[in-house]
Amino acid sequence: MKKTLIVAEFEFLQTAKRWQFLAVTLFLPLFIVFISFLSYKSGTFATNSLQEKFEKGQKIAIIDESDFFKFSKDDYFVKVKDETQVKQDFLNEKYIGLLKIPKDYMKTGVVELISQKNQVLGSSKSFKKITESFVRKQLLEAIQDEQQRKRIFNSVQFKLLIIDKKLNINNFDFHQMIVPLLFLVIFILSTSTASTFLLQSVSEEKENRTVEILLSTVNDNQLIGGKVLGLGFATLIQVLIWVLMSLVAIPALSAQMKIPIQLSLIPISHVVFGVVVLFLGFLFFAAAMIGVGAIASNYKDAQQLSSFFIIGSMLPIYVLQIILNDIHGTLSQVLYYFPITSPIVLVSRFCLGNLPLWEVIAGPLFLLVCVIVAVMLAAKSFRLGCLMYNRRPSFKEFVQHLF
Amino acid sequence: MKAIEVNNFSKKFGDFQAVSDLSFHVDPGEIFGFLGRNGAGKTTTIRSLLRIYQPDTGDLLIQNQIFGDHLKNDIGYLPEERGLYTRAKVIDTIMYFARLKGLSRSTASQRASELLELMQLTEHSNKTIQSLSSGMQQKVQIIISIIHKPKLLILDEPFRGLDPINRQIIYDTLKGLKSEGYTILFSSHQIAEIEEFSDRVIMIADGKSRAYGSIQDIKMQFEPRFIQLNYHGKLPHLETVEELNDYGNRAEIKFKENTSPQLILKQLIEADVLVEKFEITRPSLNQIFIQLCGEATS
């Protein structure tokens, strides 16, 4: 155990001193928050900027070739007839935008947005929204009833409600989403950075030939255990920093984005389950990276081999919508028990899925079994591959070595 | 109790027989030379001795035991394929391995200072490994292998790639260790290194033992069929000579089996060659090595 701790201490210090580790730990979450905030703000800014122009009396000019639209008085749009003049005016920025409704509009539904080279109006969501509203409004002029017009005109408003086992229907609690979302970000960031460092550590020891002297000093288990422990500790510190950052960022962002979040309302069972799965998921990926690092002929090769695990772990993100829409469906079930994808799906289903108890136990238990198998395979791969310099063992050699 | 005992050891990689039925032992306190060409099976034997490889057959024992965790702190090992953590500092790397070998932090620090000074590396102790020359890196590795004062030191090609000055420093260090009574097994394909240091040697080729014992004993196994000749004049054609290396006024002559060196001396005198030295010798270790390895290869 003493040697394992010495290896762990060395691995931890070597990792923690790397600028990449410090950068990922301190700046990546800030960067993510900054980008999210910027994206939110830029949407608001674009709307405000358009609104300012309207307030100054500028309008969007419309050339209507279809002659269908009635054009009652509108705050935003003005119908123009002299096409040449309006084009010139548009270039002189008299108008915010220029729309052309072709003759066959009723047949095709196409409205032409004319932009200046340096101002692509089609990319502005606010502009599109206003234009769509205007076009719909024109189409609905035929309907007399104001209430009906409003209902058709406005998009459908959804209110999320949840039914419980006692058939009570309650408002959807956004706090249910906090742990899955936070877990997703933390898991992806922590496993990808820890995996990279672990992969580097093993493949570098192989590449720089340190592994042989290590194996004459410690045994496989001490070496692998020390690496996982050392990097695990570094990851733990990283996660703690991120959680602390989240505790500060979530209330601030919720206030800014007008989403009412109270940290005290996050279910504690979600947090406990998330921590357990994060630990198991980390161990699984650590074992996988040790195995890959030992088998690969160099770090580049190791990176290629590990991409299966890294991309695989992100698969649930791509199909998250499908999983959330059908949390008990076949895809959710399959990914729940597939070790590479299971950590994210486990937490999502547990927090949002109202799972039966046996599934709550079976998921992490199965992941634990996968972790044990992965650690055993990693140890075998390590023994086989660590002294194969500049080449990787063939599949036949690998299978022979296993049995 | 033998420091190392290898009995009937064989190891195969796929269809390639790396070592075949190899037996030898190393006594405590002796310096044992492991001589062979590249690929002869030296490193495979050492790795199997340290259980980095599993032997196919045979017994490989250190202090009468199979190598395991209980012996790891008693061994110092310099592998043939060597390297260090390139981004780590010299002192951090030495301390890490010293502590893994069971030294306390304070003892490790004290020993590290002593050995860094001995190897003339004190001023480089806070530099990263990658900023050192390859010779300096090798000296760091020697420090790592001896820092815990091991009972048995296994050095696989310790002089490989060293410049003359660094080679001399390692030479002096090993001589010091020899006088302190260390048991050392070291492999090399350089005859001069083996001859200078070893009490006894084993010479292997194609994974098989070709000669084993003290250098004197090995030489005695070969007939005295060499003549060291210092002369003036022109050497005549000598029918009974199998091999002649003529260096001007000095020559090495290997005469044919079942012929008398007296006959050669007579022929030289008849040819008016002024003979200054005429010494009948056994083959040098180098000649034995070339002969045995040549036979093995053919």
Whether ipTM tops 0.85, in short, is no
Lowest mean pLDDT among A39-53, A62-76, A309-323, B277-291: A39-53
**Which CATH superfamily hosts domain B4-219?**
P-loop containing nucleotide triphosphate hydrolases (3.40.50.300)
Q: What percent of chain A has pLDDT over 90?
A: 2
Closest chain B C-alpha to A229 CA, distance in angstroms = 16
Domain definitions of chain B by residue range:
4-219, 223-281
Fold matches, B4-219 and B223-281: no
pLDDT, position A159: 62
Q: In the 3-class helix/strand/coil scheme, how is chain A assigned residue by residue?
A: CHHHHHHHHHHHHHHHCCHHHHHHHHHHHHHHHHHHHHHHHHHHHHHHHHHHHHHCCCCEEEEECCCCCCCCCCCCEEECCCHHHHHHHHHCCCCCEEEEECCCHHHHCCCEEECECCECHHHCHHHHHHHHHHHHHHHHHHCCCHHHHHHHHCCCCCCCEEECCCCCEEECCCHHHHHHHHHHHHHHHHHHHHHHHHHHHHHHHHHCCCHHHHHCCCCHHHHHHHHHHHHHHHHHHHHHHHHHHHHHHHHHHHHHHCCCCCHHHCCHHHHHHHHHHHHHHHHHHHHHHHHHHHHCCCHHHHHHHHHHHHHHHHHHHHCHHHHHHCCCCHHHHHHHHCCCCHHHHHHHHHHHCCCCHHHHHHHHHHHHHHHHHHHHHHHHHHHHHCCCCCCCCCHHHHHHHHC
Instruction: Identify the CA nearest to B145 among candidates A225, A212, A10.
Output: A212
pLDDT, position A257: 64
Rounded (5°) CA angle B5-B6-B9: 165
Span B174-217, pLDDT tens digits: 888 888 888 999 888 878 778 878 889 998 988 888 888 888 88
pLDDT at A369 over 90: yes
Q: For tokens 């012996």, what's the residue? A: B71
Judged by CB atoms closer than 8 Å, whether chains meet at B79 and A7 is answered as: no
C-alpha span between A22 and A13 (Å, rounded): 12
Q: With contacts defined as CB-CB under 8 Å, which chain A residues touch B85? A: 14, 204-205, 208, 210
Closest chain A C-alpha to B14 CA, distance in angstroms = 9
Judged by CB atoms closer than 8 Å, whether chains meet at A212 and B86 is answered as: no
Q: What's the token pair of residue B298?
A: 């053919």
Q: Is A220 on the interface with B (CB under 8 A)?
A: no
| Burial of residue A360, with CB atoms counted within 10 A of its CB: 0-12 exposed, 13-18 middle, 19 or more buried | middle
pLDDT, position B134: 83
Q: What percent of chain B has pLDDT over 70?
A: 98
Q: What architecture is domain B223-281?
A: 2-Layer Sandwich (3.30)
Q: What architecture is domain A58-157?
A: 3-Layer(aba) Sandwich (3.40)
Q: Give the closest of B47, B78, B84 to A210, CB-based.
A: B84
C-alpha span between A130 and A114 (Å, rounded): 15
Span A169-191, pLDDT tens digits: 666 667 777 788 888 888 888 88
Other beta carbons within 10 angstroms of residue A167's beta carbon come to 6
Span B256-266, pLDDT tens digits: 888 888 888 99
Pick from B94, B100, B187 the residue to mutate for testing the A interface (most A CBs within 10 Å): B100
pLDDT greater at residue A9 or residue B290: A9
Span A110-164, pLDDT tens digits: 888 777 665 555 556 677 777 777 777 777 776 666 666 666 666 556 666 666 6
The SS3 of residue B184 is: strand
Judged by CB atoms closer than 8 Å, whether chains meet at B82 and A212 is answered as: yes
Pick from A216, A219, A400 the residue to mutate for testing the B interface (most B CBs within 10 Å): A216
Span B87-118, pLDDT tens digits: 889 999 999 999 999 899 999 999 999 999 98
C-alpha span between A398 and A318 (Å, rounded): 33
C-alpha span between B251 and A47 (Å, rounded): 100
pLDDT greater at residue A354 or residue A258: A354
Q: Give the closest of A204, A209, A217 to B81, CB-based.
A: A209
Judged by CB atoms closer than 8 Å, whether chains meet at A204 and B85 is answered as: yes
Residue A295: C-alpha distances to residues A380, A383, A387, B109 (Å): 10, 9, 9, 35
pLDDT, position B92: 92
Closest chain B C-alpha to A389 CA, distance in angstroms = 9
pLDDT at A393 over 80: no
Element (H, E) at B28: none
Q: With contacts defined as CB-CB under 8 Å, which chain A residues touch B52? A: 212, 215-216, 387
Judged by CB atoms closer than 8 Å, whether chains meet at B100 and A209 is answered as: no
Closest chain A C-alpha to B209 CA, distance in angstroms = 25
Judged by CB atoms closer than 8 Å, whether chains meet at B83 and A217 is answered as: no
Q: Is A10 on the interface with B (CB under 8 A)?
A: yes
Q: With contacts defined as CB-CB under 8 Å, which chain A residues touch B75? A: 216
pLDDT band at A229 (very low <50, low <70, confident <90, very high): confident
pLDDT, position A58: 81
Judged by CB atoms closer than 8 Å, whether chains meet at B100 and A6 is answered as: yes
Domain definitions of chain A by residue range:
2-33+173-402, 58-157
